[in-house]
Each structure stands twice: as structure tokens, then as C-alpha cells.
Structure 1
Amino acid sequence: MGRTTDGEVAEFVELRRRQAGAFSRAQAKAHRITDKVLQRRCRARQIQRVHSGVYVDFTGPLPWETRMWAAWLACGPETALTGETALRRYGVTGDWRDDRIQLALPHSRRVDPRPGVAISRHRDLASLLHGSREPRMVRLDVALLVTASADPDVAGRAAVLLDACRQRRTTPARLLAELDSFTQLPGRRMLRQILGDAAEGVHSFLEQAYLRRVERAHGLPKAGRQVRASTTAGVVYRDVEYPSYGVVVELDGQAGHADSISRWRDMTRDNAAATSGKLTLRFGYQLVSQPCETAFQVAAALHYRGWRGSPRPCSPTCLVVTPSFHRGGEDFIPNR
């Protein structure tokens, strides 16, 4: 065995490097490092103990990756990363707020509580695992569904699933297939609805809200989504387009649109639509709280461009009324 200058086995050094500095007592003993040596190094502040039987080879604050390895080593090789922890390990971009290390255990196993570690138990954990990852992890689609299911807010659930699809980390079809085997997952019905919308081209929570609360609820024509268009500035994708009427709807959330590059990209896209004769309407999060007002404006634009249909009220108090819509030369009016 090769040894480093301080006499440690090179294999053990490499093992700790792969595990972000974390190692177990069993791994140390396998490389002929005794408990007495571990205790001496702890006293000398060369290493620190994180969990019972788990150490790291440095002192001071622990980076997230080190905490992840230490938690997995502490709970044993039968455990697997799940939820937000697995998504971070897969490199999925998202607003991950739960800083605990989330681990899945076989249902028959029990482990003692550990600080900063969240444990869930599964009856058929082996069927959920990725085949070749280390440490063991549930499959990406499983981690996405588990994370979305745990979010108490519908918008949060949609963001997890739609963002992953938009990043091309998975597809609605793959997630729906995985969901079919997750018969006990809380909130399956809502997740299925979100994924059904994603399969139609919805890429964000705002797009889903527009599809459900504006377009479908008010009987507007069916639009195309994420419509690819070639312009002099390059290829652009339009959130919602009614090609028969030359009307485009762009849905802009706060995130990703505050910087000058994003604003310039949006202006270029809208200007390209205008120069090709298309009328562009832009909405933000107000459409979630004011879907009827949004529907009124979109219907007016469609009517202006030749739509002969009528929007329908979504409720008795809806702003949109239909009887006077383009009848006898009159335009429809909001019900105020």
C-alpha cells in the first residue's frame, strides 16, 4: 500500500477526499487507525466527531457536502439520499430551503435521531434507488415527486416539477410513469394535474395559472405554448401564442427578469413579435389574483384580431359577461 508523508495509507486519504473529508470509524479501522488514534487526533483538533462513529478530517464549519456524507455514513449503507438532498446532489437548480440532510430508510430499520438529519421510511426502498450512485440515492424522478409532495403550497409543488422539466432534467411522461408506482404518495391527484399541464407545454407556475384560471376557465381559444420562432436576433420561445389571431401572451415572474440582460431579451422578443404583426400582452403574478381581468384583456385583444367567439364567466361575480360580446356591432364589456 502507498503511504503519504505522514504515514497514512494513500487509499484512506483518497477515500476521505471522495467523501468530502468525512469517514466512519469502521473505515478508519479498516485502514489500521485505532480508536486511540482517533481520540488523540480529536483532542489535538486534527479531526472532529460529527455523529457517533463518524468524523471529518478538519475542524471548523462543515460544508453541505461534508454534512451529507457524514449523515449517510452515520445511518448506514442501507440508507439513501432523498428529497431536496438528492436533488441538490443531482445538481437540479431550485429554491431548496430545507437544509437538513434527508435520508430514506427501509421500513424495517430504525436509527437514533441525529441533529440536522430528517429520516423517512419506505417499504420497498430498493425499487426507488438509482443503480450506480454513491452514496445511494433515490432516482431523480422519485426525489422530485417526494419534494413536490411535501410542499404545502400548490405553487411550490408546481415550481419543483415544472422547473425540472424546463431544465430538461426529466420529462412530464417520465414523472407520470413514476407517479403511477407511487400509490401512497400524498397529493398524487394534484401532482398528476400539474404534470398533465406540463405535458401540454406549460413550463412555469404562471403558465399553469394562465392555462387553468384564464384560458380554460373563461372559454378562450386553445393556445400554443412555448412556441418556437426565428427572428433576426435568433430563436425565441413565446410563452403563449394564438397563431390564428396573431396574439402573443408573455408571462413574466419576478425571478429571472430583474437583471438588464433578461429585460433586454424580453424586449427583443416582444419587438420581434411586433415587427411580424403580432400583438403582445404581458402579465405577471397579478393574473393569479385577477384572472378575470386578465381574461377580459386577452379576449379583447383576440376580438380585435378577429375572434368571433365569446368568453364565458367563470363565476357569478366574474368580470366577463358574454351577451353583448360582438353582437349587433357592440363589444363585450366587463361586468363591473
Structure 2
Amino acid sequence: MAANFECLGQTVGVADSGDVRQPFDRDGMVRLRDEIQGGVISRRQLRELRAQDHDIRRLVRNCELTAIHPGVYVGHTGNPTWGQRAWAAVLACWPAALTGRSALPKPPERAPIEVMVPMGRTVRAPEGVIVRRRARFEGYVDWADYPPRQLIAEAAIDAAAEAADVNEAFSMLADLVQSKALRAGALVEALSHRRRLRDRHLLGELLEDLKAGACSVLEREYLRCVERAHGLPAGERQIADSVDGVSVERDVTYAAYGLVVELDGRAFHGSAASRDADHARDLAAAAARGLRTVRLTYGQVLRDPCRTAARIGDLLRLGGWEGQVRSCSVCADA
């Protein structure tokens, strides 16, 4: 296990040395604490830098160090930043790494810090820290990151598995793909190794929808509950286009039938100007390419998918589609 790593000539997370014959390396402490670890250092590291108990007491007394967890200090007396909380959690549970949501590019600021340790260890979680024991620890940590963290695809799968509901899980995964932090294929690969993961089948379905081009909860619901459930033709998703010199991505395009479906997840447009811009692009696309554009809301997709599917079917038939809209289980119960 790569539990130790080198920083500016000092080893992070090693056993105490406390050699009384050599002076405390105060400059080394400052470099390690402030330049590498965001203002955080552990007692273990201070001992490696030859600090004695009286040195540490003096640093605390002079407010150069403030305990954030037992044996872990921050270099000020104010509220720690998220990054300092993350470093403190990792050092308090060392050897450990950020995991789950805490290991993702946009971690929740106010949530407890999640860290993982090897399955064979039992670690008491400090206040504000969640400790997760992971069988997939060896080889699944980026020790070159600061602080160390679980590989992002692995972290995303674990975070999605622990989400409150399916929509939260899908939003989390879609945001990562949309921001280009990950490819959908990397998530599929990470999931393929998780034979015993809770809700593995459901996560597989979410990733298949993501690979199909659904990039938001609303787009996924349209794909599942309107298009697939009612036998509509498969649209092309996230097609890049340019209208009046403005680059856009169209949510769902039925090019053969001259129809574009835009899924407006906002409760309202940010301004009248943005609303006008949307409709101006729709008009330009109709004039230049003969593409009719319809805009659907959450209510039309989630609360009335059957009526919406019937109307989309009518529009597709106007463009030459010869298929039939079929009934779904919701239609049958209505």
C-alpha cells in the first residue's frame, strides 16, 4: 500500500521519530503545513520533523497551531476551510483517502468529510468525518493528489450508490460527464467490477441512459417515460448546431421528421431576454433548416407523459413518421 508519500523532502504519515539530538525543523513544518497541506499538519508529522511535546505545546500556546481533531492541527484559530477539513480528516485517519462525494470535483461544502480506509482497519471517526471501509482500497487511491483521494470513477460510483434517490444519483453522474470530468465509459467500467454493490442493476440503467445522451433528470425521464415507453422513434441527443453564429446543443433531434424537442428544466427563464433568445433560435432553426422546435416542461414530462407522447407522435407523423404511439402501463391505468 502506498501509505507514505514524499513532500518537500518530508514523509507524510510516518511513525514518530522524536530524535532529541537534532533541533525541531520549524521551516520544514511551515513548508509542509502551508505549502503542501493547505495549513494542516498532524502530530505524527511534527514528530517526524523532530518536534518534542514542549515544542508542540508552545506552538499551540502561541496560536500557531490549533487542534482540529485529536493529533491534527490547523495553522490558525478561525474556521477551517473545506480543504483544511479534508486534509484534517485524511491525516486523522491515516492511512486514508477522500472517498465518495468528498473525492468528487465539486464536493458538498457543508456535509461531513468522507474518507476511506482499508477493509481490515477499524478507525473511530472524528467529529465531522465519516469513515468508510473499502475492499477496493489498494490501487484505487490517487496518492499524488493533495489530499489523497479515491480515483474519480470509483468515487462517483460509490457516491451514486449512497444517494438519497435515483434522481440525485443520476444528476450526480450526469454532472460529471457534462463537465467532462469523466467519460460515461469510465463509469461503466468502474461499475463492472462491483458485483456486490447495492443497487448495481439500477446504476447500470442510469449509466445506459447517460450513454444514450440523457444529460439531466428531465432528459432521462423524457427518454424513459415519453419516448421509449410509447414506442416513439429514437431521437439523437446533444447534437451540436450553430444558429445565427451561436453554438447550441439540441436536447433531442428527430432530424428525419423535422422535429426538435427542447427540455426546459428551469421553472422559469432567468429573464425575458433569455426567453426571447431561446425562441429566436427556434425560429431561426425553422427558417434555415425546416426544423420545428417544441419546448417541454417538467410537468409535461413527469406528470403527463402519455398525453405528451401522443402530441409528439402527432408532430412526428406530420414529418412523415409512419409509426404508432403505443400505450404504456400508465396509459393502461388511466
Q: Please give the range of the TM-score, normalised by the shorter of the 2 chains.
A: 0.7 to 0.9
Residues 162, 316 of structure 1: CA spacing in aligned structure 2 closer, same or farther, 3 A cutoff? closer
User: What SS class does the counterpart of residue 126 from structure 1 fall into?
Assistant: coil
Equivalences for residues 1-336 of structure 1 within 5 A: 9-17=26-34, 18-76=36-94, 78-87=95-104, 91-92=105-106, 96=108, 99-130=111-142, 132-254=144-266, 258=270, 263=275, 266-276=278-288, 277-286=290-299, 287-315=301-329, 317=331
The TM-score normalised by the length of structure 2 is: 0.85
The TM-score normalised by the length of structure 1 is: 0.84
Residues 230 and 327, structure 2, Cα contact 8 Å, conserved in 1: yes
Residues 98, 279 of structure 1: CA spacing in aligned structure 2 closer, same or farther, 3 A cutoff? same
- Taking the aligned partners of 1:128 and 1:296, their CA distance within structure 2 comes to 48
- Taking the aligned partners of 2:269 and 2:28, their CA distance within structure 1 comes to 48
User: What SS class does the counterpart of residue 257 from structure 2 fall into?
Assistant: coil
Alignment-mate amino acid for residue 202 of structure 1: A
Residues 84 and 98, structure 1, Cα contact 8 Å, conserved in 2: no
Shift of 1:259: 5.5
1:124-183 deviation line (CA, Å, top 9, x unaligned): 311322353233211110111111111121111111111111111111111111111112
1:184-221 deviation line (CA, Å, top 9, x unaligned): 22111111111111212221121111111000101111
Alignment-mate amino acid for residue 304 of structure 1: L
- Taking the aligned partners of 1:168 and 1:10, their CA distance within structure 2 comes to 40
Indicate the larger mover: 244-253 or 42-51. Answer: 42-51
- Taking the aligned partners of 1:256 and 1:316, their CA distance within structure 2 comes to 28
- Taking the aligned partners of 1:55 and 1:104, their CA distance within structure 2 comes to 20
Indicate the larger mover: 149-158 or 275-284. Answer: 275-284
- Taking the aligned partners of 1:52 and 1:316, their CA distance within structure 2 comes to 56
Residues 72 and 88, structure 2, Cα contact 8 Å, conserved in 1: yes
Alignment-mate amino acid for residue 84 of structure 1: R
Q: How large is the RMSD of aligned CA atoms in angstroms?
A: 2.4
- Taking the aligned partners of 2:139 and 2:49, their CA distance within structure 1 comes to 33
Indicate the larger mover: 240-249 or 26-35. Answer: 26-35
User: What SS class does the counterpart of residue 127 from structure 1 fall into?
Assistant: coil
- Taking the aligned partners of 1:179 and 1:212, their CA distance within structure 2 comes to 21
- Taking the aligned partners of 2:221 and 2:229, their CA distance within structure 1 comes to 10
Runs of at least 5 residues in structure 1 that lack an aligned partner in the other structure: 2-6, 320-334
Shift of 1:83: 0.7
1:95-142 deviation line (CA, Å, top 9, x unaligned): x37611101110111112310000111223113223532332111101
Shift of 1:263: 4.1
1:209-237 deviation line (CA, Å, top 9, x unaligned): 11110001011111111112232223321
Indicate the larger mover: 261-270 or 226-235. Answer: 261-270
Shift of 1:260: 6.6
Residues 256, 191 of structure 1: CA spacing in aligned structure 2 closer, same or farther, 3 A cutoff? farther
Residues 292 and 318, structure 1, Cα contact 8 Å, conserved in 2: no
Indicate the larger mover: 42-51 or 67-76. Answer: 42-51
- Displacement over 6 Å in runs of 4+: none
Runs of at least 5 residues in structure 2 that lack an aligned partner in the other structure: 1-7, 9-23
Q: How many residues align?
A: 309
Residues 81 and 104, structure 1, Cα contact 8 Å, conserved in 2: yes
- Taking the aligned partners of 2:100 and 2:273, their CA distance within structure 1 comes to 33
